[in-house]
Each structure stands twice: as C-alpha cells, then as structure tokens.
Chain A
C-alpha cells in the first residue's frame, strides 16, 4: 500500500512551503526517516525525512513549486505498485459525505482492502458513485471502468446524499484565520465603549473643501492621542514591551475576497486632509490588488470601521502583535440630552479593544476619553 508524503507544517504561522530539492529520484529506495526532500520557508531551509520506507513512486511537486501545507508532494510505496491517482497538487476539493466527515488533507487510505485503478477512482469521484455499492465484474470481483459507467447510466442514486463540500482555504483566508486565532490566544482581550458626539466634527467637515470622511477626523484624533500615550502604540514581545517611535495606523479594508489592513505611516505628522487622501489611496489600491508589501507592514495600531456597514458597535480582535484596536460604529443622528433638553445629535459608539497584558482599563479609558475630547471640541 502506498503512502502520501505531505508538505509539512514547519511552524504555526506557516501556510505553505517551496520544494527546493528532491534528494531522492523517482524509482529510488528510501528508508523511513531518511531525508527525502528539502523545503524553504522564509529564510529557513529544512530537510524533510520520509514518513515511510519504500520506493519513491511519484513526485507531484517539482523543484521551485510552492504549495499549501498538507498538499501531497510525493507518493511512496512498493516497487512496481500502481500510484493511486495521477492528479497533481493542489489537493482536489474532495466531496465529503455527511456520514464520512473526513477531510481532504487527511491520510488517504481509501481502497485499503480493494484494488482500484486510478481511472475508476477518478470516475467514481466525478460522478459521485459509491464504490462500496457496486459489484465488480473484473478479475476477482474488481470494479472496472465499465462497472462505474454502467452505474452512472442506470441512474442509480449515489448511496449517500452529498450535503457538504470541503475545499482548501485560500492562502489569504488561512492567514486571516491563523492571525485571528493567534491574537485571541495571545492577547488578554478587553473592550471598552464610549459614545462620541460628532456634531462638531460635522460642522468642521462642512467647512472643508474637499470634504474629508469622518474616518479621517477619527484617524487624526487617534494618531495625536497615540503620540501622547505611547503605551497604547507599543506591543508585547515575549516578556518585553516594545515601544514604537512611529505612529503607523492600520486601516482595515474589507475586500470581496477577504480582509487586509494597509498602514498609514507616521499618521501623527499628517493633517486631516492628508490622512483622508492617504486612507482613500490605500483603500483603492487594496481593492485593486495594487498594495506593496511595505503598504501593509509596520502598523502599530488599527482602526476598523464596521459602522459603514450599519453596525452600531463592535468588539474587535486586536491586530497582533499590536496592543489595541479602535472600532467605529455607525455615525447617526440620535436623541441626546443636552442641557436638560433632548436634541438630535450626530453620535457614534467607539470601542477600544485592548490587550490587558500591557494596558490597564483606566489607561484605555483615558485614551478613549482623550479621543472623544478631541472629536467633540469645536473648530479651532
């Protein structure tokens, strides 16, 4: 029986690897744990030992190719053995039946007892035929291609109802998933919510030409407050507190295919209109996939703005390794008590998500209070 050789995961934040050398050639014998191939991830090269002794039957990932972890890169078995299937990496989205509940990346031991040709397997997968329900007409009761096609033509319903499909995550999805879980697990998340009156901002905004977005005013207040309170701008690495000389504001941008956080560098040295231009430029380039790696690097604090979608307040996950994130709820007219009268005022809930390992509640509240004060102040 053959064994699949998978691209190993060399670390928890690693989603893919590049094959840089095959130490063994197809047809050569390899011992269990003998180095089989070399991979490269980041600045690290690693030898990967063979999971099984036997003959290298097939190489599916050539030198220079980069594939997601758990991709089958080679097959090892006995000399002369047929390779179970000829499809190449990446792993095919496998249909998973509700009763089976397996995963596409798990060890493929189907057909352990029975011998099936690659053609039969492929046809059965293509047409959703349950091979266990077929009676083979070939030698020793083997299921042949004709048996599968006959079953398809007879219109026999698949033995199990397909209710779910498993497909590998995109690299971006996988990175988002790992990043979020890492942050949730690492930081001691706490949230605090302030209601902020944007009426004064709207007055300032009316007077400006071109008119900046509310987000630009918020970014301005945040950046200036971060430079006053560097602890919010710092990050925890191991047992150290790392302070950052620059205030680099990440702005979460929703994409049709995921989420990205481009960074406005040195935001504390920019005016509202400069921030407005920078944010709009980054968002446009994010949506047209024109961001460079530098555009998403070195953020020290993040702003997320689900208010644009109608959310009134959120409880965001911190953008690791940063220590805090500001979430802007919908800015809308609400009844507010001003000097004992109920007035219509433009208001919004701002949430600060912060890492309690570094930032205590009183400090977080001082930070939000300072932002609130800047936003509610009249035009200078």
Chain B
C-alpha cells in the first residue's frame, strides 16, 4: 500500500505510558519510512515521567530531585533518544507526536521546529492566548514562561517525538528539574493563563487542524483511519 501525499492521520490515544508510546512511534516511523502509511499525528497524555534527552545526559545537574523524591511522587525517570535536555510529562499535558515525512520540500531542521511552534501558537491563539517564540530557545512562551516544549528526532527526514503543551499540568512537578536545561525561566499552563482550561477534545481538534494547516496536510477522518495500517501497527504488542 502506498500513501497518498498530503494526508495526515490523527490518532487521539488518551493516556499512554511513555515507553509504550516510544515503541508505537518507532513502528510507525519505520512504516512511514517505507511509505506504508501516511503522515501521522499522535495526540496523547503520559502518566508522570521525567525524561532525559541525548543532550541532557552530560548535564545531570538539570535534574534537581533525588531518585527517592521521584519515587515518593510516583514519577518515573527515563533516558530517551530525542533531542533536548530534561523534561517532565504528566497528566493534563497535551502531547503531540507528529510522524511526518519532511521530504522532499521541508528538509530543514529549523524550519520544522519553527513550523511546530507556529502550529502551537495558532492553536492556543484560538483560545485567546497569545504565545510567542524566544530567540535562541525552542517551544512557545508567554512572557518568560514556557507554555509548550519541543523535542524532536529525525530519521531520514521522518519526524518523531514532538511537543508537550501544558493544559492543566501540575506545574510544581517542573520544580524537580531545570526544564530543557534553561535556567531563569518558568513554565505555565493554559489553565493558569485562562483560569479555566479549554475542553480537551476542542484542544485536540484545534492542534490537529493547525498542524495540518502549517504543514499543508489534510486530515483523514478518524472513521477511515481506525482500520488503517497505522492503527494496527500502533496496537501491535511485541
């Protein structure tokens, strides 16, 4: 089966343990590389976990909590193969993993990250939040506080990992780390900015639509995609 160009299958997956999501992503990336499936956008939440990216392994000082403290709070600690430093994922955070083939016309690392940021800024703008970029840093920011983090991996220009947007995230968990190794800046959430957070499903829909706009993809309706190759790959247990 070959994919039709420009299609984006959106998969709303609910809460998924971090390692299971990594595993599923890996299968989907391999399938995308072989052109067996169209582009994917996985939308999910993770149970509480602190992940350390490739560049964070030499800077463990960005992890402020002891293993005992993490265990007490029921937070896992994992080393992962994405870019970036240390970050926290947890309930109330909308995690998006786009699995896109950037070939042939989007083969530019900076452009990809800028496009992700654009999609996120447009997403939160729909709910009345004006977020921006901070020169030299990734993610989207409101003032000096980060609203969404970005960490990306590429394999032959097929993307994995992605973004984490704080919706109702318990922000005190970020006190356990120096997010992304950047000191002197805080984190925020849509709930904190708006008082009341938007409905989860509205936010998922907005993120998918804005991502599709920014990457010039058309969303495949979920009814069709439920029986897709990608759905079977995601559900596969090894």
Question: Does B110 lie within 8 Å of A14, measured CB to CB?
Answer: yes
Interface size of B by CB at 8 A reads 29
Question: Does A42 lie within 8 Å of B113, measured CB to CB?
Answer: yes
Question: Does B109 lie within 8 Å of A238, measured CB to CB?
Answer: no
Q: Pick 26 A–B contacts, CB within 8 A, sort by A.
A: A10-B154, A11-B107, A12-B110, A13-B110, A14-B110, A20-B54, A20-B55, A21-B54, A42-B113, A43-B83, A43-B84, A44-B109, A44-B152, A44-B153, A44-B154, A46-B109, A46-B153, A46-B154, A46-B155, A47-B154, A47-B156, A49-B156, A64-B58, A238-B118, A297-B136, A298-B134
Question: Does B54 lie within 8 Å of A45, measured CB to CB?
Answer: yes
Check if B112 is an interface residue, CB within 8 A of chain A: yes
Write the chain A residue with the least CB distance to B138. A43
In the complex, what residues of B have CB within 8 A of residue A49's CB? Answer: 156
Write the chain A residue with the least CB distance to B152. A44
Cα–Cα, bound, A298→B152 (Å)? 24
Min CB distance, B139 to chain A, in Å? Answer: 8
Write the chain B residue with the least CB distance to A33. B156
Check if A242 is an interface residue, CB within 8 A of chain B: yes
Write the chain B residue with the least CB distance to A12. B108
In the complex, what residues of A have CB within 8 A of residue B180's CB? Answer: 43
Min CB distance, B125 to chain A, in Å? Answer: 10
Check if B38 is an interface residue, CB within 8 A of chain A: no
Interface size of A by CB at 8 A reads 26
B100-144 interface with A by 8 A CB criterion? 107-113, 118, 132, 134-136, 138
B interface SS class = mixed
Check if A118 is an interface residue, CB within 8 A of chain B: no
Cα–Cα, bound, A38→B98 (Å)? 20
In the complex, what residues of B have CB within 8 A of residue A90's CB? Answer: none
Write the chain B residue with the least CB distance to A49. B156
Question: Does A14 lie within 8 Å of B54, measured CB to CB?
Answer: no
Chain B 28-41 interface 0/1 with A at a Cβ cutoff of 8 Å (1 = within): 00000000000000
Question: Does A40 lie within 8 Å of B54, measured CB to CB?
Answer: yes
In the complex, what residues of A have CB within 8 A of residue B55's CB? Answer: 18, 20, 40
Check if B82 is an interface residue, CB within 8 A of chain A: yes
Of the candidates B112, B134, B136, the one whose C-beta lies within 8 Å of that of A44 is B112
In the complex, what residues of B have CB within 8 A of residue A258's CB? Answer: none
Check if A212 is an interface residue, CB within 8 A of chain B: no
Question: Does A11 lie within 8 Å of B134, measured CB to CB?
Answer: no
Min CB distance, A294 to chain B, in Å? Answer: 8
In the complex, what residues of A have CB within 8 A of residue B112's CB? Answer: 44
Cα–Cα, bound, A55→B62 (Å)? 39
In the complex, what residues of A have CB within 8 A of residue B110's CB? Answer: 11-14, 42
Check if A58 is an interface residue, CB within 8 A of chain B: no
